[in-house]
Structure 1
Amino acid sequence: MLQQFNASYWQNRYKVSQTGWDVAKITKPLQDYFDQLPDRQLQILIPGCGNAWEAEYLFNAGFRNIFVADFAEAPLQHFAARVPAFPKEQLLHANFFELQGQYDLLVEQTFFCSLDPNLRGAYAQKCAELLRPGGKLVGLLFDTEFLQPGPPFGGSREEYRSYFAPYFEFVHYETAYNSITPRQGKELFICLQKPADR
């Protein structure tokens, strides 16, 4: 990983509130997906969680087996203060690539785009490792290129398919119809399933 994108880099961005990707609430595509989940016992991991608005929404909806992980400590502290009932042992201050465990659902919200693009293949592989057979990776990816240097880093659905295809079946892989206004037409909603026999 490039040195400038290490834990200190992200910690500083949170300290100075340089978090333009954070819309300060759960985004509509993920909210709609969560609302149709029947099983409140799912083991859920949100890597690169940032301020973890998705975890707050899930927790308030009755999900209890939610684990949030981030490289930087600041957003985890913000989340703990905002949602004091959330179990502290489920706040993981860790490097995503060093996480262990098995989950039913991984939630992607602006973590993939924060990584050095050279790590995208490793991200897909690690997601597959962390999921139980039949588990799903669900979330949003930017389907656009950015003019300014990243992060965030953009890309295309064709590029992303090459990373995920070795590990996942594509249940849904289309432009999100309910993105926030600034991201309309620029987000790909994904629901990728790890085969049951792997």
Structure 2
Amino acid sequence: MLNDQYWSQRYENQQTRWDIGQAAPALKEYFDQLTNKNSTILIPGCGNAHEAEYLLQQGFTNITLIDISGILVNILQEKLRFHIEKGSIRVIHQDFFEHSGSYDLVIEQTFFCAIDPNLRKIYAEKMSELLNPKGKLVGLLFDCNFEGGPPFGGSRAEYISYFEPYFTLKIFEECFNSIPPRAGNELFICLESLKKIK
């Protein structure tokens, strides 16, 4: 079962082979062209939060991190204490599927591949629910298969079937600036919520 205990044990034992030790180049490039530093940003399954640290360095002021691992959340709350006290970021110990909020941007970086594949349709629906109208889901998905899991792989065609009912697929293509070990095995996505303004 992929619960708090499972993930906390992985972090305690440093079994985090999905962690590349820095913000992904493709995401850094995307962040660098954003102009509204007050955008509400969510990073679910945030892991070691390299993307969040990069965003903070660039002056973003409204970031929310969620992770199911209590141990990891404690580490991050200590590590990011200054920014938490400043109000630029909050770190929540929670199951993503129980989260509520409204965001302009959700960042996907190795969260989708870490959940049970049976939850992927619900993931797409939940993302749509959390995003403001015209809000975006941006990130990286593995375009390959793995033995066992997590991580769990898949294909572009499979993923599109989950997202099409809820999003306009602005970009859904092979990532051109993956880190070398993942070259050719990642998709970069930029999906815009179809949710109507009430």
Q: TM-score, normalised by structure 2?
A: 0.95
Counterpart residue type for residue 101 of structure 2:
G
Contact 1:51–1:76 (8 Å) recurs in 2 = no
Structure 1 stretches of 4+ moved >4 Å? none
- Answer yes or no: is the 8 Å Cα contact 2:112–2:120 preserved in 1: yes
Q: Which residue of structure 2 aligns with residue 168 of structure 1?
A: 167
Q: Distance in 1 between matches of 2:194 and 2:90?
A: 27
Q: Which amino acid aligns with 2:9?
A: N
Percent of aligned positions with the same letter in both sequences? 51
Contact 2:38/2:60 (8 A) holds in 1:
yes
Alignment: residue pair count? 194
Structure 1 residues 1-198: aligned runs within 5 Å? 4-87=1-84, 90-146=90-146, 148-195=147-194, 197=196
Other structure's SS at 2:97 match: helix
CA contact (8 A) 1:108 1:139 kept: yes
C-alpha separation between the residues in 1 aligned to 2:9 and 2:195?
A: 41
Q: SS at the partner of 1:68?
A: strand
User: Gapped runs of 5+ residues in structure 1?
Assistant: none
Deviations 1:110-150 (A, max 9, x none): 0000010000000000000000000000000000011x210
User: SS of 1:108's equivalent?
Assistant: strand
The CA distance in 2 between the partners of 1:23 and 1:82, in whole Å, is 18
Partner amino acid, structure 2, of 1:191: C
CA contact (8 A) 2:172 2:190 kept: yes
Residue 196 of structure 1 deviates from its aligned partner by 5.5
Question: Do the aligned residues in 1 keep the contact of 2:65 with 2:92 (CA within 8 Å)?
Answer: yes
SS in 2 for 1:63: coil
Say which SS state the counterpart of residue 105 (structure 1) adopts: strand
Letter in 2 for 1:19: T
